[in-house]
Amino acid sequence: MTAYLFSRVGHSLLTLFVILTIAFVIIRVAPGGPEVILGGEELSAEDIARFRTSLGLDQPLHVQYFKWMLALARGDLGRSYMEHRPVLDVIVQRLPNTMLLTTTAFVLGLLISIPLGVFSAVKPRSLLDYGITMFTMVGISMPVFWLGILMIIVFAVELRLLPSAGIGAAGEGFDLADRVTHLVMPATVLAFYHLAEWTRYTRASMLDTIGEDYVRTARAKGLPERGVVFKHALRNALIPVVTVIGLSLPGLVGGAAIVETVFAWPGMGRLAVTAAFRRDYPVIMGLLVIFSALVILSNLMIDLLYSYLDPRVRLK
């Protein structure tokens, strides 16, 4: 187990290094730069040269890369071009908001998708199964941004039940009820697509598992149907589902950028979109470090769940 953990941590660090290296090169060689956004297109060639020199962008690419890597090793993510303060401070200010949104969407998706997939598999070709299948197909086919706009029109504009944007009422302090009402729509939209996908995989995995010999043996012993389904079938059916959920985590994090933009949610996804338009290189790379580390760490945790869900799996 210890050897496996060291091996996986080593692979994770190597993966993170490759991701950051490729992203650094792509971002720096892309056309355009912060000088155009900050100074405007009317800058002279001399002004542009002085500006790039002040930011260190006139140095060779490999020099910029090694300087950034050395700073990263010290825990320094640089300084934002736009906000003129450390990138770490900018991210820490937004990180709790994104974690609240993505965690709520993740938990909401799990709590709904697993039971729906089980009920659909237990009653195949029934009216319930057809209804759940139609629901999941709609969820997979519907664009996230379109669903967000639709919910704003219905629940915020027409029915006036929920606030249309933001994380809280302007000028007000923290209020739990207010925070929940602002969270409902963005969390639902972010969870909807993944909820539908996880439901489909849970149903398919359960259908395969229910037909196994050990499930039929459990029924033959006279065990209650609830125990057969949830204790014997579901635990083994969750193994491929856990894999799918782990692979969906980058999409969940990436989808937060769209949802946060639609609902003006002040999180890291919205910050990433703003930083990309402004060519704020330090913020972009700092966000990439955080996002990549979170996704890699979550996938490591998913791998460790295998040994718990299936005792036959041994981590070596």
Mean pLDDT of 138-154: 91
pLDDT band (50, 70, 90) for residue 211: confident
Distance of alpha carbon 25 from alpha carbon 300, whole angstroms? 27
- pLDDT of 39 over the 70 cut: no
pLDDT at 41: 60
The answer to whether residues 132 and 53 belong to one domain is no
In a domain, 81, yes or no: no
- pLDDT of 282 over the 80 cut: yes
120 contacts 199 by C-beta, under 8 angstroms: yes
Which tens digits make up the pLDDT trace of 80-127? 988 889 999 999 999 899 989 999 999 999 999 999 999 999 888 899
**What is the rounded end-to-end Cα distance, in angstroms, of the chain?**
6
- Domain count for the chain, please give it: 2
pLDDT at 68: 93
Partners of 79 in the β-ladder: 86
- Rounded to the nearest 10 degrees, the angle between the axes of helix 87-122 and helix 176-210 is 40
How is residue 257 written in tokens?
Answer: 């950028």
Q: Which residue has the higher pLDDT, 51 or 131?
A: 131
- pTM for this structure? 0.82
Domain that holds residue 291: 91-309
List, in sequence order, every beta strand (DSSP E) within 101-232: none
The answer to whether residues 129 and 241 belong to one domain is yes
In a domain, 80, yes or no: no
pLDDT at 213: 81
- Rounded to the nearest 10 degrees, the angle between the axes of helix 176-210 and helix 144-151 is 140
In a domain, 78, yes or no: no
The answer to whether residues 132 and 206 belong to one domain is yes
In a domain, 64, yes or no: yes
pLDDT at 226: 80
List, in sequence order, every beta strand (DSSP E) within 6-155: none
Q: Which residue has the higher pLDDT, 75 or 250?
A: 75
In a domain, 110, yes or no: yes
In a domain, 314, yes or no: no
56 contacts 64 by C-beta, under 8 angstroms: yes
Rg (CA), the chain: 24
- pLDDT of 54 over the 90 cut: no
79: helix, coil or strand? Answer: strand
- pLDDT of 132 over the 90 cut: yes
Phi and psi (nearest 5°) for 79?
Answer: -125, 135
In a domain, 153, yes or no: yes
> What separation in angstroms does the CA of 260 have from each of 35, 60, 267, 306?
27, 36, 7, 33
DSSP 86: B
In a domain, 316, yes or no: no
Boundary (domain end) residue, out of 73, 101, 116:
73
Distance of alpha carbon 212 from alpha carbon 277, whole angstroms? 53
